[in-house]
Structure 1
Amino acid sequence: MSRIGIIANPYSKLNKRNPAQIETLRTIASKHADFFVTDSLQDLSQKVKTMANTGFDVIAICGGDGTIALTMTEIIRWYTRKELPKIAILKGGTMNLVASQINIQGSQASVLRRLIRRVEQRSALTTSKLQTLQVGDHFGFLYADGSAVRILKEFYRKKSGILGAIWLGLRLVSSFLRKGRLVSKLIYEETVKAKSGAQTMEFTSLGNFAGTIRKLPLGFPLLPLAMKQKGLFQATFITCPKEKLLWQLPLIMIKHKEGTSLGKYSICCDELEISSQSPLHYTLDGELFIHDETTPLKISQGPEVEFIKL
C-alpha cells in the first residue's frame, strides 16, 4: 500500500485565514498518513529529504501554487535516485492554478478523505501528467516577468483573495481609461533579449510569459499552445504599445499561433534564455525572484509529474 505524506503550509492564504483547518486535516490524517507542517524553506527542504529517504510514494500538498512549486523543487532535488512520488493537491491558496488544471473539486478535508479512502482500498490512483518548467534552480509551471510582476506585487500588498484580484483589475482598467498613476506605475515597456536554440530575438515588451499550463489565473488562455507538442512549453512576449493594451488584450488572448500576431510574439521551445539591461524581476507560480547575474536567465522543461485526480 502507498505511503502518504502531507506537507502543510500554515502561511498560505486559506490556511492563514482559517488556522483550525490545519488541525482538522491532521485529525483526518491520523493513523492514515504522516503530517508535516513547515515553517520555513529550510524546514520544507529537510522534511522532503526525510520523506525521500523513508520511501513516501504519495505526497499531498496543502497550500497554494507557490507552496506547490517550492515543494516540487525540493521533491525533484531529493528524489534523485527514485521515481518521483505521485502528488495530491489539497489546495489552500488564492488562485489554486495547478488545482484548476486537473479539476480538483471540494474542500481540503473532502479531498484528503477521498485520497485516504482510495489508497486504503488499494484503488487505482488515476493521475494527470503535467510537465514542469525549470527556471534557474527552481521548478514550477508558469513564469512571468515585467508588468505581470509589478501587478502581482501590488496585489500582494493587501493579499485580498479573488475579490481583491478582480478589484485590482477594475482599478487598472479605470486608470488606463483616465491615463492615471496606477497604470503608469505598474505597466510599462522594457527591452529584453531572448534566445532559443539558434534563434535570437529582441523585444520591447510589457511582460513575458512562459509555461507548461495553458490557463492563467481567472482562466485567461494566454498559453494555449503549451505542451501541444510533447516536451515543448510556450513562451509569449507582449509587444503591443502600452496605450493599446486594453483594446488589444482580447485578441492577444484568442490568437493561437506561433510567431508574430497582434500585440504579441509566441514560440514553442524546450529551452529559452532571457536577459535584460537591469536585474530581471520574475515570478514562478506566484513566488517572487530576482535574477541579477550577468548571464541570461535559463528556462527549460523539467521532469514530468503525476498529479492524482481527486
Structure 2
Amino acid sequence: MKPIGLIFNPFADINKKQTAAKLRSIKKILGEHGLVQITNNTDDIPIALKQFYKEGIKILGISGGDGTIDHVLSSYINLFGSEKLPVIVPLKGGTMNMLAADVGLRGDQITSCYKLINSLNHHSTLPTIERGLIKVVDKRFNHPNYTFTWLDGLLYKFIKWYYKEGAGVRVALKLILQSGIKSLTNINHDLFKEVVSKVYIDDKKLPFESHLLIAISTVKRLVFGFRVFAEEAAAGEGFSILYLRFPFFRKALYQLPRVLYSGLKSDASGNFLNSSGRVVRIEGNRGYVLDGEVYESQEPIDITLEIGPKLKIFSPKGEKY
C-alpha cells in the first residue's frame, strides 16, 4: 500500500512553470511511498480521490493553490464523509498559498516533500497541526463547499481586481497602495461601497443592514502574514469573524498596521466586530471568495457558514509552530 496520494494541479500559478520538472522531482522524492495524480480540471478530482480511497491512502498531498485545496477537500468530504479524513499536506503550487504558510511549510513544494519523507522515516507519528474547516452552504450548488477562509465585500472586490491585474506579490503591494490612496482621495469609489445585507451571528441579527466587508477564517495567518483576528476558536468548535462597516473603516484608517498585524478589539458602536462564532448567515450577499477562489453573483444570494470538520495538517514542528 502506498501511504501518500498526491494531487497535482498543473494550472496553478507556480505549477504552470517547469511543470514536467516539478512532477519528476516530486515523484522521485516520494518514490514507492507515493501515488501522484494530475488533475487537469475539477472533474478529475473525484476520479483521483476514488482511486486514493480504494488504495487506503492515509496522507493526502495537494500541489496547487488554496483554491485547489478547497476543491479537493470539498470533493473528498462530499464523497466519503468526514469521519476518517487523511492527513493533509499543502504544497505551495498556487498564488497565495495561505494554508501552507499558516502551518509552517514556507519553503517550496520540493522542500516540503523532503520534509514529509524525512518525518515518515524518523518519526513514529507524523507531526501535525489541527485546523477546522468552514462549511459553506450556497443553494446554487448541489453540495456544500468547505474552506478555511471566506471573504466578501471590499475584500471580494479587491481579490477580483488583483486577479485582473495579473496576481503576484508585486501586484498585491501595488493595489494595496492604490487602495490606500483611493480611500483618502476618492472615498466614493465602488471599492468602498457597502453590501446591503442582513447578517446573523449565532442566530443573533446584527443591528445594521449593510457592511463593508466580512472575513471568516479558521487559520491564524492570512496572506502576507496578516493576523487580523482578535479571537481564535479551537479547531472544529468555531471560527474567527471580522465584520466591518464604513464609518469605522474611515475612522480607523490610521490604525491599519494594528488592524492587519495585531487584531483590534470590537468597537462599542457595532460598526466593527472582531470575535468568534459557530454559525453566520448573510442574506443579500453579492459574491464571495473561498481561499482565493472567486464565486460571483449577479443577484443577491443567501449564504450560511457553519462549523465544518477538523483535520490534521502536516507541519514539521507540529503544534509548537
Q: Give the TM-score normalised by the residue count of structure 2.
A: 0.85
Would you say the 8 A contact 1:7–1:62 is kept in 2? yes
Q: CA deviation at 1:203?
A: 3.7
- Root-mean-square deviation (Å): 2.6
Would you say the 8 A contact 1:214–1:225 is kept in 2? no
Counterpart in 2 of 1:199?
204
1:309 matches 2:315: yes
Which ranges in structure 2 are unaligned for 5 or more consecutive residues? Answer: 138-143, 317-321
Q: Secondary structure at the match of 2:183?
A: helix
Number of residue pairs aligned between Structure 1 and Structure 2: 306
Quick one: percent identity of the two aligned structures? 25
Q: CA deviation at 1:32?
A: 2.6
Would you say the 8 A contact 2:63–2:90 is kept in 1? yes
1:177 matches 2:178: no
Counterpart in 2 of 1:9?
9
- Report the Cα distance in structure 2 between the residues aligned to 1:197 and 1:40, rounded to whole angstroms: 36
Match of 1:163 among 143, 163, 170: 170
Distance 1:240 1:128, change over 3 A: same
Q: CA deviation at 1:43?
A: 0.5
Q: CA deviation at 1:187?
A: 2.4
Query: Counterpart amino acid of 1:236?
Result: L
- Structure 1, residues 46-97: CA drift from partner, whole Å, max 9, x if none? 2112212321010111111111111111222233275110111221122211
Counterpart in 1 of 2:27?
26
1:96 matches 2:102: no
* Aligned pairs (5 A) from 1:1-310: 3-19=3-19, 20-80=21-81, 83-120=84-121, 123-136=124-137, 137-179=144-186, 184-201=189-206, 202-227=208-233, 231-241=237-247, 243-244=250-251, 246-250=253-257, 252-253=259-260, 254-258=262-266, 260=268, 264-276=272-284, 280-290=286-296, 296-310=302-316
Which ranges in structure 1 are unaligned for 5 or more consecutive residues? Answer: none
- Report the Cα distance in structure 1 between the residues aligned to 2:9 and 2:235, rounded to whole angstroms: 34
Q: Give the TM-score normalised by the residue count of structure 1.
A: 0.88
- Report the Cα distance in structure 2 between the residues aligned to 1:262 and 1:272, rounded to whole angstroms: 16
Distance 1:269 1:211, change over 3 A: same
Distance 1:168 1:126, change over 3 A: same
Would you say the 8 A contact 1:52–1:78 is kept in 2? no
Would you say the 8 A contact 1:133–1:141 is kept in 2? yes
Query: Counterpart amino acid of 1:210?
Result: I
- Report the Cα distance in structure 1 between the residues aligned to 2:33 and 2:64, rounded to whole angstroms: 20
Distance 1:147 1:245, change over 3 A: farther
Q: Secondary structure at the match of 1:31?
A: helix
Q: Secondary structure at the match of 1:129?
A: strand
Q: CA deviation at 1:210?
A: 0.9
- Report the Cα distance in structure 2 between the residues aligned to 1:263 and 1:2, rounded to whole angstroms: 52
- Report the Cα distance in structure 2 between the residues aligned to 1:305 and 1:78, rounded to whole angstroms: 16
